[in-house]
Amino acid sequence: MKLVFAGTPEVAVPALDALIASGRHEVAAVVTRPDAPAGRGRRLVASPVAERAEEAGIEVLKPVRPRDPDFQARLREIAPDCCPVVAYGALLPKSALDIPRHGWVNLHFSLLPAWRGAAPVQHSILAGDQVTGASTFRIEEGLDTGPVFGVLTEEIRPTDTSGDLLTRLAFAGAGLLAATMDGIEDGTLRAVAQAADGVSHAPKITVEDARIDWSAPAMRADRVVRGCTPAPGAWTLFRGERLKVVSLGLLPARTDLAPGELAAAKNNVYVGTGSHAAELLWVQPQGKKPMRAADWARGVRIAAGERLG
């Protein structure tokens, strides 16, 4: 088939690579978000998908909005059979959805209908799920509601951050998306309507969502840290300033600290929660790089009874 791939961040690059390497389909163009300011200089930078497409000599389309008439006119000229999508980042109007004869097929990082929305991986960790996965489905006007072509499952490991899990799903999902394109082309794959039960939603994680509540059980604090790493980053307050918590260790044996209360030993820093103490492993003070919590504690000289939060 002739394909137009839509995607923007680094997590979409493995799927683009898989489609380019398949040899079975032609990636005629790529659709991505416009260049965005980045770095201290705030200079405009192309998306990772745009950079990869340019390296491969593929035409890159960067509409401000997918409903732009010029973009849709160019898409009709290309006349794709199907538009595979991974984390494109913009809503597609029906006028664009109707252009390819096999529609737009999204690779979504959850087992639909669970975790429809922008942040499925983060929410699966926050919820304490033990298994997640990826799904390919035909995009409709509703939010991740379309019929499903294929799924794969992935275990959520006890120490997984959302970054760890998303990386594994990006590479496994790339194969699923390529196989879905093959099945659509040869007619062996039919999309099946999503189940009506088990629907859950995964809106974008806000900075406030990433704030740690030390009165909650230690397991909840650990999920917030892992689910919000690398972005937006779990955080708390210390002496009125924001402190990022990069990683925690769980210590069910220690119960002598009040929620948020700190205790520093020679090589360890403990913080109380609503259940039992956790160990601060890595933190990042404002304006500084991540550091071992023990080194941070030596620098700030924690006083008896001082708290986070």
- Token representation of residue 146: 């379309």
Helix runs in 148-280, H state only: 162-186, 218-227
Helix runs in the chain, H state only: 13-22, 48-55, 69-78, 94-97, 120-126, 162-186, 218-227, 293-300
| pLDDT for res 258 | 97
User: Annotated binding residue at 259?
Assistant: no
Domains of the chain and any CATH numbers: 2-202 (3.40.50.170), 207-300 (3.10.25.10)
Dihedral sign of CA atoms 236, 239, 242, 246 in order? negative
* Backbone φ/ψ region at 211: left (φ over 0), alpha (ψ -120 to 50), beta: beta
- Residues of the chain with pLDDT below 70 are none
Model confidence, pTM: 0.94
- From CA 12, how far away is CA 74, in angstroms rounded? 22
- Cβ atoms of residues 200 and 109 within 8 Å: no
- Cβ atoms of residues 270 and 278 within 8 Å: yes
| pLDDT for res 39 | 79
User: Annotated binding residue at 215?
Assistant: no
